[in-house]
Amino acid sequence: MYNPLLHKKPYGASVMNQETRITFPVDNSLGIKRVFVVLRQVFGEGGEVAGESLRYELPLSHSENGQDVFVGSFALSAWGIWQYRFEGEFANGDLAFFGRGLDGTAIRGDWLPEWQLTVTKRDYKTPNWAKRGVTYQIFADRFCKVGDKPFTKRGRLHADWYERPDIAEDGRDYRADDFFGGNIEGIISKLDYLQSLGVSLIYLSPVFESCSNHRYDTGDYLKIDPLLGTEEEFGNLVKRAGEKGIKIMLDGVFNHTGSDSKYFNKEGTYPDLGAYQSKQSPYFDWYYFTKYPDEYACWWGSTVVPTVNKSAQGFCDLVLGENGVIDKWSKAGVKGWRLDVVDELPIDFTNKLCSRIKSEGEDMLVVGEVWEDASIKIAYSEWRPYFMGEQLDS
């Protein structure tokens, strides 16, 4: 029976107006005389689609090993997500329906799941180096420590690398403000080990200045966190890793900043006039205040990570512009970005962000954090076209 791994070319996604060839073998004892593939579009331009079904006949090609083999092709002129099934027609005109079984192959029956066909706007340009590589994720504070960096943060630095991390107790909010001091020099010291594992890409947890150990509450997008090291040391990591055939991918946290950041500056840590401190701040329109200054939109109700207005020109300039985030760290040799909570980003901003990253070269990789099937992801009532050829590689 039909198995898309064996009987559909190309396997996986197709490109708009590109021919898709289907082979449908069926036991000739069933007496099926004609076979049709029936397609319907479910997502496309504008989101969800409820269009009419398309029906293409697969002519009988030949018979072998007790099977009649029907082969045909079609090309779809609309990009998006399509679903398809098969119909077999008997000599008397009655129909047999075939859908997707649990193992992905065809079974006969009514109201069965259908197969998915992703049709992109254009060919992907996913970097060849990433297709068969090995990615190793490093949580920078806990991977390896070489030497000591000055500790100037709130919270505490563990004296013993093997101590238990702090946890929230008795209803106290967890602040992630205990550190072990893992650093860039520590990562460099392990490059031979990583190379021995066959690693071709290091995905770093956030490395920009922050008040937390996880650093998802960015304080300054243009500075390496001093507890991790210096910009020079980061450049050395990229260089030394590259000499061993290992590329570096950064974690891009663009849905929110930290409340303790130069942009929001709730704690007054930075000399910059933050949005929390004054409506005259150049960063004021970056945030959504409902009752100034203490009530504002934030990620999943966590007030330490206020949500950013991705249409604010100043924010867009910082991330996308000359000498901005993508520009600076691409010049430092970074070859990929993992986009944190990408389904929180507006489609238009995601398009611009991915386009900006890809403008640095076809060897740039863009990966998004999506917790469900990213090809059919709906966030805030919108289908997200991640795999239509303009956004994510994976």
- Give the catalytic positions in this structure: 340, 369
Query: What is the Cα–Cα distance from 61 to 242, expressed in whole angstroms?
Result: 51
The values of phi and psi at residue 204, to 5°, are -90, 135
Query: What is the Cα–Cα distance from 243 to 238, expressed in whole angstroms?
Result: 9
Residue 223 Cα distances to 208, 227, 338, angstroms: 6, 11, 18
Query: What is the Cα–Cα distance from 100 to 4, expressed in whole angstroms?
Result: 10
The values of phi and psi at residue 131, to 5°, are -70, -30
Q: Could you tell me if 13 and 120 are in contact, meaning their C-beta atoms sit under 8 angstroms apart? A: yes
Rg, C-alpha atoms of the chain: 26
Q: Could you tell me if 310 and 286 are in contact, meaning their C-beta atoms sit under 8 angstroms apart? A: no
Q: How many residues does the chain have?
A: 394
- Nearest CA to 351 out of 374, 378, 385, 382 is that of 385
Query: What is the Cα–Cα distance from 211 to 342, expressed in whole angstroms?
Result: 22
DSSP assignment of 80-95 equals EEEEEEEEEE-TTS-E
- Nearest CA to 8 out of 19, 28, 23 is that of 23
Q: Could you tell me if 96 and 108 are in contact, meaning their C-beta atoms sit under 8 angstroms apart? A: yes
Beta bridge partners of 63: 68
Residue 60 Cα distances to 21, 69, 99, 253, angstroms: 14, 6, 20, 53
Q: Could you tell me if 161 and 180 are in contact, meaning their C-beta atoms sit under 8 angstroms apart? A: yes
Signed CA dihedral, 89, 91, 93, 95: sign only: negative
